[in-house]
Chains A and B, each alone.
Chain A
Amino acid sequence: MSWSRDDMVKRAAAEVRDGLIVNLGIGLPTEVANFIPPGVNVQLHSENGLLGMGPYPYDDEVDPQLINAGKQTVTALPGASTFDSALSFAMIRGGHVDLAILGGLEVACTGDLANWTVPGKLITGMGGAMDLAAGAKRVVVLQSHVAKDGKPKLVAQVTLPVTALACVHRVITELGVFDVGGDHFVCVERAAGVSTEEITRGTGAPVTFE
């Protein structure tokens, strides 16, 4: 039994430690906010210029000028601050954001990440992905273990256009938790009932097990 989407998000939320400044990427990583354990106090950074992002607003407190990087309406918690985009990316590039949890298309065991475009598909642009990948102190990628066509997404070398080199520390998939090890992945946790064979078979690079 591999992990469900919610299990994966919950496992990613366990990466979020008390006191951290955290940026959550668009899509599945955004949902991590819903699973941060009580008592763990973090400040969520949104690259469009908000530190201290809160949950979605109640219907009667929606502010069209208070949004996250996915352009969804959000709230600002007590102690939040707003700022311009140059300052926001100074936070990211300057190493002031402790943890970024991002989506992924391919991660290499060297830590190289591809997550911004697929050749032949409609281009959307990198937005803040390259800055976050290159700049955050720790990068955790939350993605499925293999693509829809069964191709491994944990690989020896990325084949898709690169987002940033040697930036990823850890990958969380439905099969488990994997740290990058240079020329291999280190499986530090397996989803209950998932065999080492299943992981090895679905991974495009050598895997060691702890």
Chain B
Amino acid sequence: MSGKVYASVDDALAGVLRDGLRVMSGGFGLSGNAEACIEALAKSGVKDLTIISNNCGNQGQGLAVLLKNRQVRQVICSFIGGNPDLAEQYLAGTVKVELNPQGTFAERIRAGGAGIGGFYTPTGVGTIVAEGKEIRELDGRKYVFERPLRADLAIVRAAVGDELGNLRFHRTSRNFSPLMAMAADVTVAEVDRLVEPGEIDPDDVHLPGLFVKRIVEVPTHKNVIEFRTTRPRGAK
């Protein structure tokens, strides 16, 4: 048994949680969230958190629970629509919000995990995003200099994981999770199914295990759907 496997999410987060923690949380809106880890964060009562996540929950659920509990001091994200808790606390000035273009957000996290000190992107030139940042013209095009993001803790959900920490994600729930796992001092992965090493073919590993410090099996999730859109049978 590898030392990475924990019996419960509480065990997996033990010794990591403290006030003022910087937490990266994978998922796009409420899809692909590390639901059990978020619940444990809420239950722990740690406060003054900086949440680095595309949306910081939505519709009062997911990470928005931490907002409701007044555990959050700052949110670094790309989109806050559909999140009344964040809107309210942002407008009241109790939570600081740093908005990033989504691609810049992803690349800053990737850079944080990849040992890159910063990068020039064309996204945001001429917009409020570029205010106060270095602008550089390269080969006739203007770019904004952006700095990496790192965190103390990353919480991610994957479909399958093994005891070495190798992860395989399901469909669009991969999103920011592998990037965040690379960019945090400690990454806790909650996996729908924990398997023996070798059961995930090396070619099918989406995130190599060295990026995951702690892993815990969480077989059931709420899997909240924000907009359930369907088409009738017989339609094209």
Q: How far is the CA of A131 from the CA of B121 in the complex (A)?
A: 9
Q: How far is the CA of A49 from the CA of B99 in the complex (A)?
A: 20
Contact A93 B127 (CB under 8 A): no
Contact B106 A88 (CB under 8 A): yes
Q: List 7 A–B pairs whose Cβ atoms lie within 8 Å, in order of A's numbering.
A: A48-B28, A57-B231, A65-B172, A67-B226, A71-B29, A73-B229, A162-B126
Given contacts A62-B230, A71-B31, A86-B110, 7 further A-B contacts (CB under 8 A): A64-B224, A65-B31, A66-B172, A71-B82, A84-B174, A130-B127, A163-B127
**A74 at interface, CB cutoff 8 A:** yes
Contact B229 A74 (CB under 8 A): yes
A residues at B contact (CB < 8 Å)? 46-50, 55-59, 62-67, 69-74, 76, 82-86, 88-89, 92-93, 112, 122-131, 134-135, 161-165
Contact B101 A56 (CB under 8 A): no
B104-119 CB contacts (< 8 Å) to partner A: 104-107, 109-110
State how many angstroms separate the Cβ of B167 from the closest Cβ of chain A. Answer: 11
Q: Across the interface, which residues of B come within 8 angstroms of A88, CB to CB?
A: 103, 106
Q: Across the interface, which residues of A come within 8 angstroms of B236, CB to CB?
A: 55
Please list the 5 inter-chain residue pairs (A to B) with the smallest Cβ-Cβ separation, ordered nearest first. A89-B103, A124-B81, A131-B103, A64-B223, A85-B106
Q: How far is the CA of A128 from the CA of B171 in the complex (A)?
A: 19
B residues at A contact (CB < 8 Å)? 28-32, 54, 58, 77-82, 87, 90-91, 99, 101-107, 109-110, 121-129, 169-179, 206, 223-233, 235-236
Q: How far is the CA of A83 from the CA of B172 in the complex (A)?
A: 7
Contact A125 B77 (CB under 8 A): yes
Most buried by B among A50, A55, A71: A71
Q: Nearest chain-A residue to B110 (Cβ)?
A: A86
Q: Across the interface, which residues of A come within 8 angstroms of B81, CB to CB?
A: 124-125, 127
Q: How far is the CA of A183 from the CA of B225 in the complex (A)?
A: 46
Contact A67 B102 (CB under 8 A): no
Main secondary structure of the interface of A (DSSP, over half): loop
Q: Across the interface, which residues of B come within 8 angstroms of A48, CB to CB?
A: 28, 172, 175
Partner of B128, one of A67, A72, A84, A161: A161
Q: Across the interface, which residues of A come within 8 angstroms of B223, CB to CB?
A: 64-65
Q: A49-B175, A85-B176, A126-B78 are in contact. Are A58 and B230 (CB under 8 A)?
A: yes
Most buried by A among B29, B102, B171: B102
Q: Across the interface, which residues of B come within 8 angstroms of A161, CB to CB?
A: 127-128
Partner of B179, one of A55, A85, A126: A85
Contact B122 A93 (CB under 8 A): yes
State how many angstroms separate the Cβ of B190 from the closest Cβ of chain A. Answer: 14
Q: Across the interface, which residues of A come within 8 angstroms of B79, CB to CB?
A: 124-127
